[in-house]
Amino acid sequence: MKKDKYINGLEMEQFKHLPEISHYNYNYYVGFENDLLFGKSDDDNTTEWWLIVGDYEPIYLGESYCNENELLHVYDSQQT
């Protein structure tokens, strides 16, 4: 499964931001092997991350927090 590459503690800032399709708190990034990542941020501290795979429903990865240098916390289901 492609999600296995996205491990707990991964630095999400390493991925390339795609400003041409991103806006405000809804941002897209190029992940591993050209995966498409979607980050939905709130106006405080939290970004929720999803892996977009083809026409399938997005796969939830977890959350990152600005005060922790955007390190991924992997969760099986949404926390916020």
Q: What is the DSSP string of 5-70?
A: GS-TT-BGGGSEE-TTT-BTTEEEEE-GGG-EEEEEE-SSSEEEEEEE-TTSPPEEEEEEEGGGTT
> Which residue type does 65 have?
Y
The mean pLDDT of 67-74, rounded to a whole number, is 92
pLDDT at 80: 66
pLDDT tens-digit profile of 22-68?
A: 999 999 999 999 999 999 999 889 999 999 988 889 999 999 999 88
* pLDDT greater than 70 at residue 17: yes
* pLDDT greater than 90 at residue 1: no
Q: Can you give the pTM of this predicted structure?
A: 0.90
- Taking the C-alpha atoms of residue 43 and residue 74, their distance in angstroms, rounded to an integer, is 21
- Taking the C-alpha atoms of residue 26 and residue 76, their distance in angstroms, rounded to an integer, is 21
pLDDT at 19: 97
Tokens matching residue 1: 């499964």
Tokens matching residue 21: 């399709």
Tokens matching residue 28: 């897209």
